[in-house]
Amino acid sequence: MSAIDVKPCDGVGAEVLGADLSGDLTNSEFATLRDAFSEYGVIFFRDQTLSPEQHIAFARRWGDINVNRFFKPVDGYPQIAEVRKEPDQTANIGGGWHTDHSYDVEPAMGSILVARDVPEKGGDTMFANMYAAYDALSDGLKETLNNLKAVHSSRHIFGDESVAYTKDSDIGNRLGNSDAATQDAVHPVIITHPLSGRKALYVNMAFTLRFDGWTAEESKPLLDYLYTHACAPQFTTTFKWKPGSIAFWDNRATWHYAINDYHGQRRLMHRITIEGCALH
C-alpha cells in the first residue's frame, strides 16, 4: 500500500506528502499521484531534492517532454526551461493569469516547476480551478459556451511585435526565438478533460484572442466576464515557494499567476512541460 498522503487545498490543488520524486516510484505510488493530478488539477510537493536528470526522469514518467520554443534552456539540459528573474530586473515571466501552451493545436498536458533559488519573501504563485469555474456558471451560460470555440495565439506574447520586445521591458533578454511564434489554434471554450472526464473552462487572458467566428470587439465583454469569474477567490489558492518545493499543474484544468512582488531578489525555477493532446 502506498504511504503517500494527499491533502486537498482550499480553492484548487492538493499537497502530496510522503513521495520521494528523486527515486523510482512504484506503480502504486505513481497511480496515486496520477489520480490526485487528475482530480485536483495541481499537486504540490515539499522538501524534494531533484537533480536535473531526476527532474527529467520524473517528467518522462508522465509523457513526452515539450522542448520550449521561447524560454532559454538550462545549460546542458534542453528539456528544462529557465524561469528566471535577477535582482536588477523588474519584469517577471508569467506575471498574469494564463495557462501554458493553449496556442498549440495539441496543448501541453502540464508543467513541473522546481524551485532552485527563491526570494526570502514573495514570489508566490497563484492557481485557479477551471473545473470549479465551469461548475459555478449558470445553466444558460453553460449552454451558450458549450457551442463556442475560441482562437488562441502565441504571436502577441512571444513574437517580434510582442509586449516583451516592444515596451520598456527586460523580459526579452530571457526569451528568444521570436520568429517561431507562429502558433494559432482553435479550441472549445468548454472542454471535457481527457483524464478526469469533467467539464472545464478553457479560455485564458494571455493567449485567447476571441471567440471563433466573432470579432475581438464582440468577444471582449463575455471573455472579460469569464476572466473575472474564473479567478474569484473561492476558486484560487496561493502556493508559497520554499527550497525543495515543486508544483505540477494541469494546463487543461487550471490557470496560474506568478506574483511579481520580490524586486531586488533573485528567483530561479526550472520548468519541464509535458506534451498533451487535442481537446474536445
Under 8 Å between Cβ of 258 and 95 = yes
What does the alpha-carbon distance between residue 73 and residue 52 come to, in Å, rounded to a whole number? 12
Cα gap 280→268, rounded to integer Å: 35
Q: Which residues contact residue 50 at a Cβ distance below 8 angstroms, ignoring those fewer than 6 apart?
A: 21, 22, 58, 114, 246
- Kindly name the residue from 98, 152, 193, 270 that is annotated as catalytic: 98
User: Measured between alpha carbons, how far is 224 from 229 in angstroms, rounded to an integer?
Assistant: 8
Distance separating alpha carbons of residues 108 and 65, to the nearest angstrom: 9
Whole-angstrom CA distances from 123 to 120, 132, 172, 261 are 9, 25, 20, 6
Q: Is 256 a known active-site residue?
A: yes
Sign of CA dihedral 114, 119, 120, 126: negative
Annotated catalytic residue: which of 55, 84, 100, 252?
A: 100
**Residue 270 β-bridge partners:** 82, 114
Rounded CA-CA distance 134/73 in Å is 35
Q: Beta-carbon neighbour count of residue 187 at 10 Å?
A: 23
Give me the catalytic one of 101, 187, 267, 271. 271
98 is catalytic: yes
What is the C-alpha separation between 221 and 229, in angstroms, rounded? 12
State yes or no: is 69 an active-site residue. Answer: no
Q: 496543448: which residue's cell? A: 107
Q: Which listed residue (101, 252, 256, 267) is catalytic?
A: 256
Distance in angstroms (rounded) separating the CA atoms of residues 207 and 103: 6
Decide if 35 is catalytic.
no
Q: Catalytic residues, which ones?
A: 98, 100, 256, 271
